[in-house]
A and B are shown apart, each in its own frame.
Chain A
C-alpha cells in the first residue's frame, strides 16, 4: 500500500520544529526627570537564548546539504511529488521563516564576488559553502536545489494554484533578465556599492513579517509590496522570480546544462502518449522535434551563421554601453553619492544638508580627498586611460592611449554575450525524439511524474510486489 501523502508532510514539519525562545523586550529610552525620580527597575525573567541564535552557521550548511540530498533522492529515486512538496514546505519554514531567508545561496553571490574583487573583504566559510553546494549539486544532478530547498522558490511553488502558460517566445526573452540582473549584482558587489540582491529580495520581507518569539518582526512597506506583487504573480505564473529574475538561477541554469544526471519525466522509455504535454507549470517540458527528410536546412544554417557573427558584436556593444553607464552606475556607491551631495551643497544648488554630508564635514576631512576617493570608485566602473609612447622623434611623440575597461564594461560585455548566445541557441535545431525535461529550465519539482503512464505502471508494479500476501 502506498503511504499516505500526508505522512511526509507531518514528518518534515516535526523534523523542522524549533525551540520557543523567550519574547524579547522592547527597548525605549526612559524620560528625563528633573526631580530626581528614579524609574523602578523592571524585573523580567532571564531570556532563554533562542535555538536560532545558538546554532552555528555550519548547522545551516548541514541543513542545506541534507535538504539537497533529500531533494535529489525524491527526484531520482523515490520520484514522489508528495515527498517533494513536504520538503518544500519544510524548507520554507526552516530556511524562510525560521532562518528569515539569510544566509542564502542567492545573496552569497555578492559575498563571494566582493571577496574575489577586494582583497580586504573576507568570505565566511559558511557563506562560501552556501554558494558552492547548490552549484556542485546542479553540476551533478541538475537544479535539485530549486526543486524544494530554496525558500524563495518554495514560496512560489506553494502558492502556485492556477498556472497560466507563458508563451515560449516570451519565456525565452524574459529569462535573459536574470543574466542582466546577475551582471548588475556582480558589478555592484565587486565595487562594494550595494548588495542589490538582498536589497530587492522580494520575499525576505515576507519571511520577516512574523514576529516570532525572541525575534523582532516586521519589515519595510516597500519590501512587503514587492512580496505581495511576486506572491500574487506566483499564484498564476509558475515561479516568476526563479525563471525571470533569480541571478543564482542563471548560474544554475548554465551548470545544469552540463549536469551528469538529468531528471526524466518517465522512469523508463517514453511511449509518446503526450499526456505530460501540459504537466509542467514552468514550461520546462520539451516536445519531440524529429528531423523531417526533405525540409531545407539552408535558411537555418544561414541564421545560425549570422547569430554566431553577432555574438562578438553584441558583446562589444554591451561592453561599450556598460562603459558609458559606468558614471551613473557608480552613484550606487555611497562615496560617490556623498561627493555629489557635498558638491551640490558647496555650489549652493541645494539649501539643506543631509546627515551624511553633516557627518562628513564634522570629520574635518578635506573635500578634495572625498572627491579623489569618489573618482577612484568611478574609475572602477568606467576604467582608466593609460598610454604608451610608441614612437619618439626629435619633433614629436606618437602616443597610444588605451582604455583599460572597468567592471561596468565587463558586465555589459557579458550581458551582450549572453544575448548573443541565446540567439545562437534559438538558431540551433536540436533533434529530440521524446518528451524531455529541459535541462536548464527544469527545477525537478516532480509534478510531471504523475502524468506519465509508465511512471504509474512502475508504481503499480512496486505496489504489487510490496503487497503482503
Chain B
C-alpha cells in the first residue's frame, strides 16, 4: 500500500474516531439527562395529578375535573413511555457508537503501528533490582495508606460519628462495639456524669420509675404481649431469681432492668440484662458511717424495699425502709449514699417511690400526722446527693408517689397525702395550689389525663381537679367526685376518656373522665395489690396470685384474655416495646413474643 493511501486511511480512521466519540458522548449525556428526568417524574406521584385527585375527592361529581384528570394522566403516561423508549433507543445508539468509536480508534492505532525494533540490551539486573526496590517502597506506601485509612475509620467509629457510641439512651449503644469480658455479651453502657439529663420525650420511651415514664401506668408501646404462661414457659423470655425480697416494681432503661431487695440487715440494688436476665451487677447499700443504723419495723406486707427505684439512663437511685438512699451510675459505680433518717412515724413502713426531674432526685418523705410537721419533699442533686431544695409538707404519712405533669403553662409536681393534694414547682419546691380532698391512708398515687388530676383515698372520694388554679382550690377547681370502687392500695388509671379504679377486693369501676359518671362496674374474682396499667387499648390487671387479666379499654368490661405468671406478685409491671417485665415474689420475669 502506498504511503498516501496509508496516510489517508489513518486520517479517515482518526476522524471517524473523533466523530463517533463526540456522538457517543452526546448520546451518553442525553441518556443521563433523560434518566434524571424520568427518575424524578413518577407519573403516579405527579403533584398535578395528586392535587386534582384530592380535589375530586372533595367534589366527586365534577365532570370537568374528571376530564382534566384523564387528560393529565394520559399526558403523563405518554411522556413516561416516551422517555422509556428514548432510553431504550439511546442504549442501542450508545453501544453502537461506542463500538464504532473503539473500532475506529483501534484501526487508527493499528495502522500507525510500526514494526518492533530490537532494543539495546540494558543492564537487566540493575534495572530489575531498581524496579524491585521501588516496588517494595510502593507496596509499603500502599500498606501504610491502607493502615492509616483503617485507623482513621476506627477513630471515627469510636469517636461518636457512629450512632452506637453517641447513643443518648445509655445501655443501647455500647453493645455493637463488641463484647466486654466482664459483662458477658452486653458491653457496659456509658453513664457519663457529664451527660445532660434526657428529654421528656426520651424518658417516655423507657420505664424509668414507678408506673412508667409519667407515673400514670401507661405504656408508650401498644405491641405488648397478651398471653403467657409461667408454668409452661409460653412467651416467657427469661426468668431470673431476685436475691433478696422486695415489693418494689421493675424499672427499665434500654437494655437494663433495675430492682432492689432488702432484709433487715442487707439492702441491695440489682441490674439485670434485659435481653438475657443475667445479673450484670449487684451493689450493696450501706448506711453511711456518720449515722448509726436505725432499726425499723415495717409491716410484713411492706417489707424493707417497698419503694421502686428510679433511673434516667445515667443514674439509678434507690431508697429503703430505714431511710438509706443511694445513687449508682448504670454501670454500678457508686455515686453517693446518705441516710435521711428512718421514717419512724410511718406506720406501715416507707413505700413512696422516687422520681427524677432533670438533675433533681425527688424524694417524698411523708410521715406522722399533718400536725406533726414531719413530712417533707426533698429535692437532691442526683450527681452529688446534696439537697437542692426541701418542701415542708402540711400532711401526714402517705405511701403515694408524686407525678410531674405539664399543665397550666408549666410543670407541676402533684403529691397526695392526708389532707391535701398539693402541686409544687419541681424546680424549686414552691407550692402552686392545694386542694383539701384527701383523708386517711393515702397509698394511691395521683394520675393525670386530659387536663385533670385524679386523686383518691379509700376514706374519701375519687376527685377530679383542674390544675390551673393558685392557692387553695378546694372549692373552685374540683370538677367532680365519685365514691364507688375506691382503692386502698392501688393507684387509679386514666386514658383521658375513662378513669378506672381497682381496689384490693377486685371491684373494678370505670368512670367517665370528664363527668365522673360511672360507665361500668365489674366484680373481678381476685385480689389486687398491683395498680392497673394501660398499653394501647388493653388494660392489664395483675392480681396477687400472678394472674394477669387483660381487658378492653372500651366503655364496657370485656376480657380479652388471661395470662398466668405461675408466681405471686404484688408489683406493677413495666411495659416496653413488645415486652413486659413483672416481679414475682422470687423471680423477675421478662415476657415477650419471641425468644431472644
Contact = CB atoms under 8 A, between A and B. Distances in A.
Chain A contact surface mostly: helix
A278 B117 CA distance: 10
Contacts of A423: 136, 139-140
A159 B21 CA distance: 13
A387 B181 contact: yes
A427 B136 contact: yes
A114 interface: no
Interface string A364-383: 11111101101100110011
Interface string B98-127: 100010011011000000111111001101
B128 interface: yes
Contacts of B106: 161
B91 A218 contact: yes
B270 to A, nearest CB: 18
Interface stretch (B167-175, B332-340, B417-425): B167-175
Contacts of A279: 116
A336 interface: yes
B500 to A, nearest CB: 25
With a 10 A CB-CB cut-off, give which of A172, A289, A366, A375 has the most chain B CB atoms.
A366
B135 A168 contact: yes
Contacts of B146: 180
Contacts of B26: none
B176 A217 contact: no
A209 interface: yes
Nearest to B119: A274
A385 interface: yes
B275 A336 contact: no
A165 B372 CA distance: 98
Contact of A325 (B73, B154, B592): B154
A288 B124 contact: yes
A385 B139 contact: no
B199 A161 contact: no
B170 to A, nearest CB: 10
Given A273-B118, A336-B176, A369 B143 contact: no
B47 interface: no
A381 B84 CA distance: 43
B87 A211 contact: yes
Interface in B73-101: 73, 77, 80-81, 84, 87-88, 91-92, 94-95, 98
Interface stretch (A138-146, A255-263, A338-346): A338-346
B12 interface: no
Given A330-B176, A343-B172, A371 B91 contact: no
A162 B176 contact: no
Interface in B564-579: 576-579
B406 interface: no
A385 B181 contact: yes
Interface string B128-168: 11011011111111110011001101101100001110011
Given A209-B94, A217-B88, A378 B176 contact: yes
B255 A368 contact: yes
Contacts of A340: 162-164, 176
B164 A173 contact: no
Nearest to A372: B596
Chain B contact surface mostly: helix
B274 interface: yes
B163 A344 contact: yes
A174 B139 CA distance: 8
B96 to A, nearest CB: 9
Contacts of B60: 34
A464 interface: no
A276 interface: yes
Contacts of B28: 224, 228
Interface in A220-263: 221, 224, 228, 231, 235
Given A221-B35, A367-B577, A378 B139 contact: no
Contact of A347 (B77, B132, B167): B167
Interface string A325-368: 11110110000100110011011110000000000000011111
Contact of B199 (A158, A317, A348, A379): A348
Contact of B131 (A158, A169, A372): A169
A277 B201 CA distance: 73
B15 interface: no
A382 B178 contact: yes
Contacts of B558: none
A466 interface: no
B177 interface: yes
A368 B118 contact: no
A371 B255 contact: yes
Contacts of A116: none
B135 A169 contact: yes
A375 B255 CA distance: 12
A49 interface: no
A99 to B, nearest CB: 16
Nearest to A419: B143
A299 B136 CA distance: 14
A339 B577 CA distance: 14
A52 interface: no
Nearest to A172: B135
Contact of B173 (A162, A343, A385): A343
With a 10 A CB-CB cut-off, give which of B87, B88, B121 has the most chain A CB atoms.
B88
B368 interface: no
Given A274-B121, A290-B125, A347-B169, A324 B150 contact: yes
A147 interface: no
Nearest to A406: B178
A346 B98 CA distance: 51
Given A366-B593, A423-B136, A327 B157 contact: yes
B143 A365 contact: no
B53 to A, nearest CB: 9
B162 A327 contact: yes
B180 interface: yes
A457 interface: no
Contacts of B181: 385, 387, 401
B92 A210 contact: yes
B594 interface: yes
Interface string B22-49: 0000001001100110000000100000
B199 A168 contact: no
A451 B169 contact: no
B408 interface: no
B193 interface: no
A176 interface: yes
B153 A366 contact: no
Contacts of A347: 167-169, 172, 202, 205
Given A279-B116, A343-B167, A366-B592, A426 B139 contact: yes
Contacts of B470: none
B139 A375 contact: no
B116 A384 contact: no
A81 to B, nearest CB: 12
Contact of A364 (B80, B94, B150, B223): B223
Nearest to B162: A328
Give me the 8 closest cross-chain CB pairs, A-B, nearest first: A366-B578, A169-B134, A211-B88, A173-B138, A172-B135, A364-B223, A161-B105, A401-B181
12 contacts: A26-B84, A28-B80, A34-B66, A173-B142, A209-B94, A210-B92, A274-B119, A343-B163, A347-B167, A347-B202, A382-B179, A385-B180
Interface of B: 28, 31-32, 35-36, 44, 60, 66, 69-70, 73, 77, 80-81, 84, 87-88, 91-92, 94-95, 98, 102, 105-106, 108-109, 116-121, 124-125, 127-129, 131-132, 134-143, 146-147, 150-151, 153-154, 156-157, 162-164, 167-169, 172-173, 175-181, 185, 199, 201-202, 205, 223, 255, 274-275, 576-579, 592-594, 596
Given A276-B116, A324-B154, A325-B154, 19 more contacts: A26-B81, A158-B102, A161-B102, A168-B135, A169-B131, A173-B139, A180-B146, A224-B32, A228-B28, A314-B143, A321-B150, A321-B151, A348-B199, A364-B593, A369-B578, A371-B175, A375-B185, A385-B181, A426-B135
